Amino acid sequence: MNRKATALDVAKRAGVSRSAVSLVLNGRGDGNVAKESQDRIRLAAQELKYSPNAIALSLRNQRSRVIGIVSDEVVVSPFDGNIIGGADDVARSRGFVTVVMDTERDAARDASAIETLLDRQVDGLMYVTVGLKPLDVPHGMLRVPSVLANCYDSSPKPQLHHVIPDEITGGRDATEHLLQLGHRDIALLAGAEGSPAAPLRVEGYRDAYAAAGLSVRADRITMAGWDIDAGFHGAMKLLDGVSPAERPTAIMCANDRLAIGVALAAARLGLSIPADLSVMGYDDEARIADTMVPALTTMALPLREIGRAAMTTLLDTIEGVSGADTAETNVETMVPCRLVIRESTGPAPTR
């Protein structure tokens, strides 16, 4: 646990001054320091395993090459962690590191996390949420380049760029997949009221119906909730004791957990998926959708892409890349969802 080597140690060992060390190790040696000294410096640095002290560097340069990521509950919840994964990919590839702080949905902690990060000279901030939602943007975020991922500035005058999934198109594409398979009566288990994502997915569903010249039956749309039991009870209501002619031939779910509930209900009722009933999920949740029996056709949320896009615009503004967004330019990036066809959807049964 002995102290790390400093630039001074390297200088001494190489028999030069600190400044020479600094110049050489930052690639500005040529034309400033004798070749011979350069070699000695580099050798000494290696022998001492010298790496500059990041703290001193930050203090000196007033920047740290660190991006702070604040999340409402991405770390502790099972969802959406890949947004952070994608963001980190991009950050690393551009020579930045990310540090994450999760506030477990406590708004008071948001502010203090951001203050902490700011105090440590982060060069930029990113706020990530579990599930699309409006955000009361913490004040500190405006003091440094910042971006929102999977959430958006809920104030009347949005200041921050945000990156979100295109839920309307997602809902539409999912519905169209089913329509193309010949389904004409598609029930929608639509998630819970109060979530911003749910109504958008419903809107996409309506769009697809309209585009196909079909009219939607209001009673086919249920704001069921987001969990397995909601899917189960929703499906039972739709299917149990209902004659085949009256049954929807497909159930589209607003997430994969609902689809599990639907599958449970179908199995209990002796209905086979997809022969008797097609089931669609949404999210493509890892270790759920792909391992379901049958494997779930679903609309994948572009989590990594959201993270990548958000980090890219953030770093572009930090590094002043030309074309980087200013207050004027677009404040919204929408990333398309991706249809993943597996085994839970098939041709509508003939009746």
Partner DNA sequence: TTGAAAGCGTTACCAG
Partner DNA sequence: CTGGTAACGCTTTCAA
In the complex, which residues of this chain contact DNA (CB under 7 A)? Answer: 3, 6-8, 16-23, 25-26, 28, 31-37, 50-53, 56-57, 59-62
Rounded CA gap, 298 and 301, in Å?
9
Interacting positions 252-271 with a copy of itself (CB under 8 A)? 257, 260-261, 263-264, 267-268, 270
Residue 227 touches which of a copy of itself, DNA, none (CB < 5 to 8 A by kind)? a copy of itself
Q: Measured from the CB of residue 157, what is the shortest distance to DNA in angstroms?
A: 30
Q: Measured from the CB of residue 114, what is the shortest distance to DNA in angstroms?
A: 17
Q: Does the N-terminal peptide bond of residue 158 adopt cis geometry, omega within 30 degrees of 0?
A: no
DSSP result, 293-318: SSPPBEEE--HHHHHHHHHHHHHHHH
- Letters for 205-234 (x = contact with a copy of itself by CB under 8 A, - = none) are ---------------------xxxxx-xx-
Residue 61 touches which of a copy of itself, DNA, none (CB < 5 to 8 A by kind)? DNA
Query: HSE (CB half, 13 Å, CA atoms) of 137?
Result: 25
Strand partners, 300: 283, 338
In this structure, is the dihedral angle defined by the CA atoms of residues 81, 83, 89 and 95, taken in order, positive or negative?
A: negative
Q: Is 291 exposed, middle or buried (0-12, 13-18, 19+ CB in 10 A)?
A: exposed
Residue 120 touches which of a copy of itself, DNA, none (CB < 5 to 8 A by kind)? a copy of itself
Residue 217 · residue 211 · CB < 8 Å: no
Question: How open is the CA angle 105-106-108, to the nearest 5 degrees?
Answer: 150
Q: Which is nearer to a copy of itself, 185 or 229 (CB)?
A: 229
State yes or no: residue 275 binds a copy of itself (CB under 8 A). Answer: no
Q: To which residue do tokens 């099972």 refer? A: 78
Rule CB under 8 A: which residues touch a copy of itself? 1, 51-56, 58-59, 64, 66, 74-79, 81-82, 84-85, 88, 97-102, 104, 113, 115-116, 119-121, 142-144, 226-230, 232-233, 257, 260-261, 263-264, 267-268, 270, 285-288, 291-293, 295
